[in-house]
Amino acid sequence: MLTKKQFCDRAILELREIGNQVQSLATDRDLPRKLETEVIANNPRLANSSSTLVAMIRALTSMQPSCVCGGYLHPKLICHYGES
């Protein structure tokens, strides 16, 4: 069983890694374009749908790089495990 400190340390590391992966995806300028041209454009049901996901991908495609910002999770905001 993990102690509270071990749990918090592990959670911080894992959440930072997730944050890095999300930031990498959000700042990858080719990913939304590839999704639009290779997946959505070739699938008429997706291309003609009013899906929120498709709308988000299209918005990302039209964004300027300065619109995408990186986030940081501060450890004190993450771990409140077992506190009452």
Domain boundaries, the chain: 4-78
Please compute the mean of the pLDDT values over residues 54-66 and round it to a whole number: 70
Q: Distance between the two ends of the chain, CA-based, in angstroms?
A: 20
Q: What is the pTM of this model?
A: 0.45
pLDDT, residue 69, reads: 44
pLDDT, residue 3, reads: 92
**Looking up tokens 């509270």, which residue turns up?**
4
The DSSP code for 42 is T
**Looking up tokens 């080719």, which residue turns up?**
30
pLDDT, residue 10, reads: 93
| Strand blocks (E) in the chain | none
Residue 70 is encoded by which pair of tokens?
A: 């990186």
Q: What is the pLDDT of residues 2-49, one digit of tens each?
A: 899 999 999 999 999 998 888 887 777 788 888 888 888 898 888 888
